[in-house]
């Protein structure tokens, strides 16, 4: 596979769809992008409003933190909430 030059459907700018990106898209069964990186980011920003953050306490270290979902108690079927540092450490 060779790099492909694609014209952005929104702004008309030319961008390169690299061989590595093509392989990644193929493994995920995705079609080639139709927008340049800047236009994709702009479209994504308009699609998603600002994230609402909720206060929580880390179940591992006890630190106050904020998460992008409304935490539920274990009685409500919720799972333990981890702060960013503990979450990253658990992911390895």
Q: What does DSSP say about strands 54-57 and 64-67: parallel, antiparallel, or unpaired?
A: antiparallel
What is the per-residue pLDDT across 6-40, written as a single tens digit (0 to 9) for each? 999 999 999 999 999 999 999 999 999 999 999 99
The 10s digit of each residue's pLDDT in 47-84 is 877 778 999 999 999 999 999 889 988 788 888 999 99
Give the per-residue pLDDT at 57: 94
d(CA 75, CA 57): 16
- Higher pLDDT residue, 90 or 8? 8
């Amino acid at each position: 596979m060779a790099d492909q030059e694609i014209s952005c459907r929104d702004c008309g700018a030319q961008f390169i769809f690299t061989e590595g990106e093509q392989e990644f898209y193929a493994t995920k069964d995705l079609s080639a992008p139709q927008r340049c990186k800047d236009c994709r980011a702009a479209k994504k920003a308009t699609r998603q409003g600002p994230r609402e953050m909720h206060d929580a306490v880390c179940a591992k270290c006890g630190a106050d933190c904020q998460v992008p979902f409304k935490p539920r108690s274990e009685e409500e079927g919720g799972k333990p909430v981890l702060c960013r540092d503990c979450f990253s450490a658990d992911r390895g």
